[in-house]
A = this chain, B = another copy of it.
Amino acid sequence: MAFTDLSIAKDAKIMPIQVIGNQAGIPEDALELYGKYKAKINVDLLPPAEKLGKVVLVTAISPTPAGEGKSTVTVGLADAFKQLNESVIVALREPSLGPVMGVKGGATGGGFAQVLPMEDINLHFTGDIHAITSANNALAAFIDNQLHQGNPLNLDPRRITWKRALDMNDRALRQVTIGLGGPAQGIPRQDGFDITVASEIMAVLCLASSLEDLKERLAQMVIGYTYDKEPVLVRDLGVEGALALLLKDAFKPNLVQTIEGTPAIIHGGPFANIAHGCNSLMATNTARQLADIVVTEAGFGADLGAEKFMHIKSRKGGFNPDAVVIVATVRALKMHGGIAKTILNEANSDAVGRGMVNLAKHVDTIRQFGIEPVVALNRFITDTPEEIAEIMDWAKAEGVAIALTNVWEQGGKGGLELAKLVKEELERPTNFAFLYEETDSVEEKLRAIVQKVYGGADVLLSDQAQKQLANIKKYGWDELPICMAKTQYSLSDQPKLLGRPEGFTITIREIMPKLGAGFLVCLTGDIMTMPGLPKQPAALKMDVGADGEAIGLF
């Protein structure tokens, strides 16, 4: 195909953002323009909603390098609802610049199911992630400054847990020593940089319900421990006001549009491992205030993204999804069936059949939450009728609603069948239930996730995690939901165990209290919080024309 995402985006007819805002019922005064096609929404100026919109959560099977096109389906589904004359808004995460420069080139859907202006959204957008980087590193500078200025808080430099952050793929910054060079240059200590989207501040921004809540959450973040092992919070430094000030504009949701002119609110983009992996509560709430149907997505597969959407975001937001879409592809199911990426283009119905177990597990999981999922089988040009039939037959036998989608090529039209099935689910009441309560013990919460969501046998805590859990209990932080940091590739904690592994035990290596975000991060295996660049970064193909035209975002 001669089309690229960028060429399609450039040929698309984009409307002034006021037109989109007007269509979404946003008074012009509530729009703060960023150029002609982006705006921040001043939510204080929105009219009160008569009723709140229903939420469609788009999740997926366990991701593979074959790609599932979850964002593309999310956008295409919203466009399909628009074609059906529904009042709809799509709510998405903001792309991180690091992966864009590194491997992705762009992250705003694909083909004819994209959000615009894709160059802007993929580059600096409205500066939200930069504001988070600033706040994160201002806090780090305040911490090291107080160490340098006599350390009145008695902070143990070996026990500082707050790391610096950059919105960059930069492996050389994972482990650093800082404060070198003598008495005028601070206190030497070990430190490290995370990618900004892994910063707790990103999670805080995404879970706060108001500016006041934002400030309170910032104040509550743990930055380290004293020599007496007592926790030190941002509140103790007294800089939560300055951090909130740095974030005051970033906290406002951003309005853009899809290629088909559907309003899109793109706001916040926390990692789906170290954090909860979905767009901001502000964005979802704003979208629900404005539209009857809100289509949104969660990161990675349903074991990570959807589980956290339910247990963390929905719980904080006081709502639950009214329908869930699970995106699958023939290609990815073949990989779950044991086929290597290099021969995915060869027809192999048997492999599809073997890989179906992964989809089946995610369907089960969503059903456990009391929601009947709809499967979106996202078509690729190499799919054969036999391979597709393999999946369709399975769905029929299992009583699972399933629709073929072809939104990359056709936009909303390629998602009409899916939209109709989802609409049926939206009209049916759900029977939503959490799989654990916040008041359960940490061990019980972990077991619920591992057994019910991952399909594993049990959970083990490392010595370090046990010690950390004892402290967490001591400080009374144990009544928080769990945020699992696990490989996205497998239901287990072993990235190579594809399909539907069984009988496995998950080992919790570390438990990190994130009091600002309001969850306990439980690390399994090695979780990368600062990606690296590949040998040939996507950036090598990027350029800008003399007229300011973006080149090489794809």
Contacts and interface: CB of A to CB of B under 8 A. Distances in A.
A211 B544 contact: yes
A542 interface: yes
A168 B142 CA distance: 10
Nearest to A215: B544
Interface stretch (A184-192, A350-358, A416-424, A491-499): A184-192
Interface string A110-147: 00000000001001100100110110011011101101
B141 A168 contact: yes
A532 interface: yes
A180 interface: yes
Q: Main SS of chain A's interface residues?
A: mixed
Interface stretch (A29-37, A285-293, A476-484, A500-508): A29-37
Contacts of A532: 145, 148, 184, 186
Contacts of A543: 215, 241-242, 244-245
Nearest to A122: B245
A179 to B, nearest CB: 4
Contacts of A246: 123-124
Nearest to A147: B172
Given A35-B32, A241-B551, A138 B539 contact: yes
Contacts of A546: 210-212
Contacts of A245: 123, 542-544, 550-552
A127 B35 CA distance: 13
Interface centre among A166, A544, A550 (most CB of B within 10 A): A544
B533 A145 contact: yes
Contacts of A35: 32-34, 40
A44 interface: yes
A141 B172 contact: yes
A477 B160 CA distance: 46
Contact of A169 (B141, B174, B189): B141
Interface residues of A, number: 77
A339 B333 CA distance: 80
A124 B249 contact: yes
Contacts of A184: 171, 532
Contact of A180 (B123, B140, B175): B175
Contact of A550 (B176, B181, B248, B550): B248
Nearest to A97: B134
A149 interface: yes
B141 A533 contact: yes
Contact of A539 (B32, B120, B142, B175): B142
A245 B537 CA distance: 15
A27 to B, nearest CB: 14
A381 interface: no
Given A130-B127, A241-B542, A168 B101 contact: no
Interface of A: 32-36, 40, 44, 97, 101, 120, 123-124, 127, 130-131, 133-134, 137-138, 140-142, 144-145, 147-150, 166-181, 184-187, 189, 210-212, 215, 238-239, 241-242, 244-246, 248-249, 532-533, 535, 537, 539-540, 542-544, 546-548, 550-552
Smallest CB-CB A-B distances: 3 pairs: A241-B543, A172-B186, A242-B539
16 contacts: A124-B131, A130-B130, A138-B168, A138-B539, A141-B533, A142-B533, A142-B539, A148-B172, A172-B179, A172-B187, A177-B177, A212-B546, A215-B543, A238-B540, A245-B544, A245-B551
Given A127-B130, A177-B180, 13 more contacts: A123-B249, A137-B168, A140-B170, A141-B169, A141-B170, A144-B171, A145-B532, A145-B533, A184-B532, A211-B546, A238-B540, A241-B543, A245-B551
